[in-house]
Structure 1
Amino acid sequence: MREILPALERWYAARIPFGLATVVAVSRSAPRGPGAAMAVGSDDEVVGSVSGGCVEGAVFELAQEVVASGEARLETFGYSDEDAFEVGLTCGGEITLLVRPVTPETDPAFGAVAGSVAAGEPVTVATVVDGPAPRGATLAVWPETAAGTPGNVGTLGTTGLDVAVTADARGELALGASVLRHYGPHGERREDAVTVFLQSFAPPPRMLVFGAIDYAASVARIGDFLGYRVTVCDARPVFATPKRFPPGVEVVVEWPHRYLGSTDTDERTVICVLTHDPKFDVPLLEEALRRPAAYIGAMGSRRTHDERRARLTEAGLTEAELSRLRSPLGLDLGARTPEEVAVSVAAEIVALRWGGSGAPLTTTAGAIHPRATA
């Protein structure tokens, strides 16, 4: 839902009621995962998507109905028989949607949540999906240590339920996960009572691009497109200038290894080393390969890679640490231009994130969108 929040925040601030459809559960080869959202505002304006086009027409009507009635609805869409002209997913998967009306009265936390997400601050939104609690009721939960946040806003119906959900919401927020949980009406663990969807908005993952060469601008641009918070770092001020990079990309003038040593990374961080100069990339990779990251890739020829690997071995890196290095970085697409190379790098990052093979889909079998393992 992160990508449609600016429009929703604008509607909310103007007190324009809108219907918000959120994917809360999927099975088999569903095209969008939990948390995907679509909203319908005034004048039939639509933002977002929940299925890539299969059921959006039906969801549009549902969103209008819940705004008119003021009551949230839970709907499941499965396989559609094209010959019968049924509304459903042609991919054979199944999605369950919660469609609810949103106004300052029905969701007093929405404005604060949107503000936190826009500022890159972590927050989890808990919403009642089914059971004896009010469907569509929301509770926004911020980390206990977060300064300047409003504290929990909203309620799911009972104090016990709010307390239990708050503890789980903070745990899921640490993982950046969005899941369904089941509770008794007072917060006890029960599978047959209240179903709550916990949607976590962790800060965007970071992409660190080292080497302000022509390829860096394209990699930074596609990283921003994929939702990363991008930083480009180079020790050479003549190259590391903001005007060479897309708006919103942070540009740092510093020796790469010094900058990396002074910044935080986690298991979602992407590190792209484009310098292919030993005086820059060897000390940088020494630091990178010994810290948490989802992806560490380095540009260069196979000869450059072999020489770089030998230098890293001499520096004391183990085989386990060296095995984390993707070099030469990117998938074999035959890329030539900076833009094509950026696509190649992005494809490898996405494949690694979701466990994809990188092979053409025409040569594979089974579900196109397998259930995520992480």
Structure 2
Amino acid sequence: MMCRKEAPVLDRITEYQSCLDQPERWAVATVVAVAGSTPVPVGTSMAVSADLEVMGSLSGGCVESATASLAQQSIAEGTPRVESFGPDGDLLGEIPLTCGGQIRVLIQPLASMPELQHARMLSGADPHHAVDFTRTIVLGGETMTVVEHREAAPRLLLFGVQDYSLHCAQLALGAGWRVQLIDHRPAFATPQRVPEGAQLTVDHPADTAADLLSDPRQSWTAACVMTHLPELDVPVLDTLLRAEPGPDFIGALGSHNAQRRRRSALAQRGHSASALGKIHGPLGLDIAAASPAESAVSIFAELISAKNSAPSSRQSRSLSTTAGPINYSRTRSASIMHPARIGAGSARRVTDLAVSS
């Protein structure tokens, strides 16, 4: 089974900048297969230097020490290796995976991964690009192909610059999302207020909403109206509901009374009850938030829930009250490493990268 959902080795290209500049000193360990309950998804990576500097994590603590030691060996020998870790411990007798699953880890000296340098060159201008990354290696005489894919980052459009939206922007940026804030009021829409990494558009939200939804990268998009001003909220929501394609999630800040007034105004503009049902408002999960910062956590939690298609029966519940896998949206059995299909007797190296802008 090929997994093309997550590939943090690509997500970390910018973070690995110093490693890529000194490839002879570093190795990259990548989770290439998982089975059962595991702490991380397939594609998760960790870089280790010959001096035991570490970037990233593979398991939240279970197997890092063993992997780091094996990475040092791979750097010294200049050869890749694959190791498996499971509930009974790894080959070195280290701490086992407490979650009960199994992971398979590919460890490669960075000097033997020139195609990763190519991936950096292709995606370096915009870390949010989608990238396909294929590399072929020889392990014990068997040729294997590793296929990874990084999707374009989720996108959050925040209409209105104020405390709630600024806190939401910070949370989304920390999770690797693309964030854009839109406001036409110069006193509020100032670069000094906007978190580093977010884009700011100083224009009327209703005038820019349609243009912002025409992004060719087609990543998952949430659009949230945060202004609390009917003369701004209603035109923006009207545009969002009419857009083709529209955002994957439409949210509106405000009380139940504010939502009723908006829906009434939008109905007068010709929107059906079905269309109005696409608006999530009041925005956020019920966690008794009592400040803009806490409300932002509530709002971003709902966005994550929607992006990952969490069932309504589990939304806003403590994990301690649930049964079954914690990361139930994650593939339980997946591999990104497969026997290579190349001609008999051939041990050629295959490099195939593509970037979607």
Given the two structures, how large is their TM-score scaled by the length of structure 1?
Answer: 0.76
How far residue 59 of structure 1 moved from its aligned partner, in angstroms, is: 1.0
Q: What are the superposed Cα offsets for residues 51-89 of structure 1, whole Å, 9 maximum, x if unpaired?
A: 11111111111211211222211222222479xx75321
Counterpart residue identity of residue 49, structure 2: G
Matched, 1:112 2:118: yes
Counterpart residue identity of residue 51, structure 2: D
The residue that corresponds to 1:14 in the other structure is: 22
For 1:114-193, what aligned pairs fall within 5 Å after superposition? 114-120=120-126, 121-128=129-136, 134-135=138-139
Matched, 1:331 2:285: yes
Which stretch has the larger CA shift, 326-335 or 19-28? 19-28
CA distance in 2: counterparts of 1:5 and 1:346, whole angstroms: 26
How many residue pairs match? The answer is 310
Secondary structure at 1:5 match in 2: coil
Using a 3 Å threshold, how does the CA distance of structure 1 residues 66 and 223 change in structure 2: closer, same or farther? same
The residue that corresponds to 1:321 in the other structure is: 275
CA distance in 2: counterparts of 1:112 and 1:338, whole angstroms: 43
Which stretch has the larger CA shift, 3-12 or 18-27? 3-12
Given the two structures, how large is their TM-score scaled by the length of structure 2?
Answer: 0.80
CA distance in 1: counterparts of 2:211 and 2:221, whole angstroms: 15
| Paired residues of 2:131 and 2:151 also in contact (CA < 8 A) | yes
Secondary structure at 2:247 match in 1: coil
Using a 3 Å threshold, how does the CA distance of structure 1 residues 345 and 116 change in structure 2: closer, same or farther? farther
| Paired residues of 1:70 and 1:101 also in contact (CA < 8 A) | yes
The residue that corresponds to 1:52 in the other structure is: 60
The residue that corresponds to 1:234 in the other structure is: 183
Using a 3 Å threshold, how does the CA distance of structure 1 residues 42 and 320 change in structure 2: closer, same or farther? farther
For 1:18-33, what aligned pairs fall within 5 Å after superposition? 18-33=26-41
Counterpart residue identity of residue 284, structure 2: G
| Paired residues of 1:223 and 1:230 also in contact (CA < 8 A) | yes
The residue that corresponds to 1:205 in the other structure is: 154
Secondary structure at 2:72 match in 1: helix
Using a 3 Å threshold, how does the CA distance of structure 1 residues 34 and 339 change in structure 2: closer, same or farther? same
Counterpart among 93, 105, 116 of residue 101 in structure 2: 93
Matched, 1:343 2:297: yes
Q: What are the superposed Cα offsets for residues 108-156 of structure 1, whole Å, 9 maximum, x if unpaired?
A: 222231233332233211133xxxx6259xxxxxxxxxxxxxxxxxxxx
Secondary structure at 2:283 match in 1: coil
How far residue 195 of structure 1 moved from its aligned partner, in angstroms, is: 4.8
Secondary structure at 2:95 match in 1: coil
Structure 1: stretches of 5+ with no match in the other structure: 137-192
CA distance in 2: counterparts of 1:340 and 1:288, whole angstroms: 26
* Percent of aligned positions that are identical: 36
| Paired residues of 1:267 and 1:292 also in contact (CA < 8 A) | no
Secondary structure at 1:68 match in 2: helix
Across the aligned residues of Structure 1 and Structure 2, the Cα RMSD in angstroms comes to 2.4
Secondary structure at 2:223 match in 1: strand
Secondary structure at 2:145 match in 1: strand
Using a 3 Å threshold, how does the CA distance of structure 1 residues 276 and 81 change in structure 2: closer, same or farther? same
CA distance in 2: counterparts of 1:292 and 1:200, whole angstroms: 25
Counterpart among 293, 308, 315 of residue 247 in structure 2: 293
Which stretch has the larger CA shift, 217-226 or 290-299? 290-299
Q: What are the superposed Cα offsets for residues 283-322 of structure 1, whole Å, 9 maximum, x if unpaired?
A: 2112223433232211000000111112222222233332
The residue that corresponds to 2:233 in the other structure is: 281
Counterpart residue identity of residue 224, structure 2: C
| Paired residues of 1:80 and 1:86 also in contact (CA < 8 A) | no
CA distance in 1: counterparts of 2:146 and 2:232, whole angstroms: 46
How far residue 212 of structure 1 moved from its aligned partner, in angstroms, is: 0.8
Using a 3 Å threshold, how does the CA distance of structure 1 residues 286 and 80 change in structure 2: closer, same or farther? farther
